Structures are given as structure tokens and as C-alpha cells.
Amino acid sequence: MNDKKNYGFTTTILHNDRRKGIEHGSLHKPIHTSVAFGYNDARQLASVFQGKEPGFRYGRQGNPTVSALEDKINQMEQGVGTLCFATGMGAIGAVFQSLLRAGDHVLSSSFLFGNTNSLWQTVAGQGVAVSFVDATEVANVAAALTPATRIVFVETIANPRTQVADLKRIGELCRQRGILYIVDNTMTTPYLFRPKSVGAGLVVNALTKSICGHGNALGGSLTDTGAYDWHAYPNIVENYKKAAPAQWGLAQIRAKGLRDFGASLGPEAAHHIAVGAETLALRMERTCANAMALAKLLEADARVAAVHYPGLASHPQHALCGELFRSYGSLLSFELKDGIDCFDFLNRLKLAIPASNLGDTRTLIIPVAHTIFYEMGAERRASMGIAESLIRVSVGIEDSADLLDDFSSALEGC
């Protein structure tokens, strides 16, 4: 497969490893468990250490199995380089550890994954100013920028309320101001959306979710799309300016974020994720269709007070999603009418499983305020639009009729 054809999303992912030429004609990149990589010529070892020739040194900084996955994610996001991490949080944490200095300002969407929100509080305690804005309107973002703003951080479809950032206009704003724009693409995945298309410089993917897709491995990634000019970033130290400017950011993140903090992805996990990624498109087609059908069923039910799903015409950013995304995602959330006990409802479901992961093949469901958003307290929950009765559903690939039947039967009992 050395041809130059422009293959589709799935064809590219399926054949990516093989195209690079794998030992013994393996179809998958094998799982390399060796921590160290030896060289017969000591000069070559030195030269690999000095970055003068490619090669592996020590597992925390790079591994062939992980590297094959990085290449795959990079193809999906059409980036100039990708780094993998032990978890999605490891990837996000590495950005802040490696790119921010005391006195810098970060502007973040207020609609955030709970642990990212918590991470911001930590960063704020270390001398970095952090502010949160409703990023569904670019004007809010523009108004909150300061001369010290280094990073604007948003998610595509926010979990759990499904607010959608004004992705394109925020990208234009960041480009005009030379600010690094980071988009967490976990909810959309590169199959539904490429943040590069709206000018994001770095893209975060929690590989744990839909890309791995089977709830059997943790992982995260950062892709540099090439859209950001690192000359404009004041915190890149001279040491990482040796390569082409497009690589400066990842060079510093690889050393200061991944190597020094050590949230490295293991080769076994990388293998699980790589295999899962092969069926990303098929699974997303099915989960998005199931989510749409379930959202419609819930919206039509008198016992449901509100449904949040970008595929519904009632969703505030429905039209925007139609323009930007291939489909509307696998995540929805809803509120039951006052007086209905959400725990009783959840306990009547036979298929949907009370559990906290997202992007699994199985439908997972969770009462948000009582679990994943419990620690942040009622006030911050209210500011994020999280009702106490909010239930989040990560829709799986079950047969649609079975899934709908499960929810209708559980609602019947309310």
C-alpha cells in the first residue's frame, strides 16, 4: 500500500500500520513490552539521545506500539504530530505543566469535563490566572481575553449538558490574537469533526472513550494540527526550538509534559486502543443513530422535563452542529419531571448500565449531580447548568428497538 490514493477514514485507519512495514508481515503493530532499546553502536545510541536520528531510548518517552497508535491518531486528525498519554487527563495535564508559567492567563469554557474543571483549580493555585466563560458565544470569549492570555480551551460537545462552543469564530479570534486554541474533541472524535478545520492548534482526545470504544483501556492524546505558529508562543525554551517551528510545541510537551511527569501510555493499552479505533466510524454511525432515536423518544415523553441533545431542533446549537459535525454525537442528557425519583428510574432499566464511562459499546447511564459532579458542589453545578435531576446517557451500539424498549419500560413505571 505505497500508493498515493486518498483513502477514506476507515480504510486509512485499517491499513495504516501495515503501510509502514511491520516485522514478520504482521497486520497489527505488535505489542513491544521492552522498556529499553539497545544499540550495537554506542555512537548511534548517543545520536538517538541527541535527536540527530530517530529511534527509541526508554519506554517513558516512546515505544514502537505507542508510536504506531500516535501515527494512527495523527492521520485521523490530519495533524503534524501526535503524542499519546496514559489517560485523557494525562494529556491535558501535560499541556499545562509544559506550556504555562506563573502570570499567564488561561481562558476556558465553563462547560467542561469535571476533572478538567478540577485541574483548572489546581493550576489557578499555582499562579496561573484561569477564567471561565460561556463559550457558546464568541463575544464572551473576546471580552475575557487579557494581554496575558496564552490559551483558550474548549470542548466540542460539552459533557453532560451538550452545549456546543462557537468553535469556528473562537478559532478566528485566536488566530487574530496569536493565542493557542485547544479543542477537546473527545465527544465528537475525529470521525465527526476535525478541530483543525476551525483553526485549533492542539487537539485533545480522551482515547479511553469512543476511539478505544470498548471500555477496556485508558489513554489520551494531543495532536498538533500545524495551525498554530509557535513563534507567537512566549514560553517555548531555546532547547526545543531546534526542529522545524511546527514541532516546537510538541517537542516541549514531549520533554516537559510527558517525559518529566511520566503519564506514558503502556503498549498493551495502545494495542487495545488501536484495535478499537479500526471500527470507530462504524460504531459512531450506530451510536449516533441510537442517540437520535432515544432523544426523540425522551422528548416526546410527558415524564421527561428536558432533553439535551444537539440532534434535536430544540437544542440551541442544533444548526451550528449541522454545519460543523458529521453527526450529533452519542451523548445525551435529560431531566425527569419534579417528583420522579431518578434512582428508581435508573434501577428499572435492564440494559442501560449505571456506570461512569463514555463511548463504550454498551449504553451507560449516570445521575450526574450525585456522582461525577458531586465534588464541585451545588453552586458551581448551577453555574454550569447541571440540574440536580440530570441524567447522562452514553449511548451504545445495542439494537435500537431493544434500547428504546428499555427506556420506555422504565419510564412506564414512573
Q: Which residues bind ligand PLP (CB under 6 A)?
A: 87-89, 113, 116, 155, 159, 184, 186-187, 206, 208-209, 218, 220, 358
CB of 176 to ligand PLP, least distance (A): 26
* Closer residue to ligand PLP (CB): 220 or 266: 220
Asked whether 393 and 295 are in contact (CB, 8 A), the reply is no
CB of 156 to ligand PLP, least distance (A): 8
CB of 115 to ligand PLP, least distance (A): 6
Give the separation between CA 280 and CA 203, rounded to whole angstroms.
18
Asked whether 82 and 70 are in contact (CB, 8 A), the reply is yes
Amino acid at residue number 162: T
* Closer residue to ligand PLP (CB): 67 or 185: 185
* Closer residue to ligand PLP (CB): 155 or 301: 155
Helices 64-77/267-277 angle, 10° precision: 30
Q: Hey, which bits of 225-302 come out as E strands? A: none
Grid cell, residue 208, equals: 479511553
CB of 269 to ligand PLP, least distance (A): 10
* Closer residue to ligand PLP (CB): 219 or 410: 219
* Closer residue to ligand PLP (CB): 89 or 151: 89
CB of 185 to ligand PLP, least distance (A): 8
Q: Which residue is nearest to ligand PLP (CB)?
A: 88
* Closer residue to ligand PLP (CB): 138 or 358: 358
Give the separation between CA 15 and CA 20, rounded to whole angstroms.
9
Give the closest residue to 195 by CA, choosing from 75, 14, 325: 325
* Closer residue to ligand PLP (CB): 178 or 385: 385
Q: Hey, which bits of 129-243 come out as E strands? A: 129-133, 149-155, 180-184, 202-206, 220-224
* Closer residue to ligand PLP (CB): 225 or 247: 225
CB of 401 to ligand PLP, least distance (A): 28
Q: Peptide bond before 54: cis, by omega within 30 degrees of 0?
A: no
CB of 219 to ligand PLP, least distance (A): 6
Backbone angles phi, psi at 335, to 5 degrees: -120, 135
CB of 86 to ligand PLP, least distance (A): 8
Give the separation between CA 373 and CA 110, rounded to whole angstroms.
13
Cβ-in-10-Å burial (0-12, 13-18, 19+) of 239 comes to exposed
Residue 281, SS3 per DSSP: helix
Integer angstrom CA distances of residue 106 from 147, 149, 201: 11, 6, 15
